[in-house]
Amino acid sequence: MTRRLFIAGNWKMHKGPNDALDLANALKRELVDQTAVDVAVAPPTISIPSVAERLKHTGIAIAGQNINEHTHGAFTGEVSSEMLRESGCEYVLVGHSERRSLFGETDETINAKVHAAFRAGLLPILCIGETLAQRESGEAESIVANQLERGLVGLSTDQVAATTIAYEPVWAIGTGLTATPDQAQSMHNHIRCSLGSSHPSFVAKQIRIQYGGSVKPHNAASLLSQPDIDGALVGGASLNADNFVAIITAGANLRS
Residues carrying an active site annotation: 96, 168
Is residue 168 close enough to count as binding ligand PGA by CB under 6 A? yes
Contact segment (CB under 6 A) with ligand PGA among 82-90, 193-201, 232-240, 245-253 equals 232-240
Residue 1: CB minimum distance to ligand PGA, A: 26
The 3-state secondary structure of the chain, one letter per residue: CCCCCEEEEECCCCCCHHHHHHHHHHHHHHCCCCCCCEEEEECCHHHHHHHHHHCCCCCEEEEECCCECCCCCCCCCCCEHHHHHHCCCCEEEECCHHHHHHHCCCHHHHHHHHHHHHHHCCEEEEEECCCHHHHHCCCHHHHHHHHHHHHCCCCCHHHHHHCEEEECCHHHCCCCCCCCHHHHHHHHHHHHHHHHHHCCHHHHHHCEEEEECCCCHHHHHHHHCCCCCCEEEECHHHHCHHHHHHHHHHHHHHHC
Give the CA distances from residue 87 to residues 45, 118, 194, in Å, rounded to whole numbers and listed in that order.
9, 16, 35
Is residue 234 close enough to count as binding ligand PGA by CB under 6 A? yes
Which of residues 236 and 251 has its CB atom nearest to ligand PGA in the complex? 236
Residue 15: CB minimum distance to ligand PGA, A: 14
Contact segment (CB under 6 A) with ligand PGA among 73-81, 109-117, 166-174, 218-226 equals 166-174
Question: Which residue's C-beta sits nearest to ligand PGA?
Answer: 235
Contact segment (CB under 6 A) with ligand PGA among 13-21, 109-117, 137-145, 211-219 equals 211-219
Is residue 44 close enough to count as binding ligand PGA by CB under 6 A? no
Q: Out of 6, 10, 144, 148, point to the residue binding ligand PGA (CB under 6 A).
A: 10
Q: Out of 207, 215, 224, 229, point to the residue binding ligand PGA (CB under 6 A).
A: 215
Residue 205: CB minimum distance to ligand PGA, A: 25
Residue 125: CB minimum distance to ligand PGA, A: 10
What is the number of alpha carbons within 13 Å of residue 54 lying toward its C-beta? Answer: 20
Q: Out of 124, 231, 236, 251, point to the residue binding ligand PGA (CB under 6 A).
A: 236
Q: Which residues bind ligand PGA (CB under 6 A)?
A: 10, 168, 173-174, 212-215, 233-237
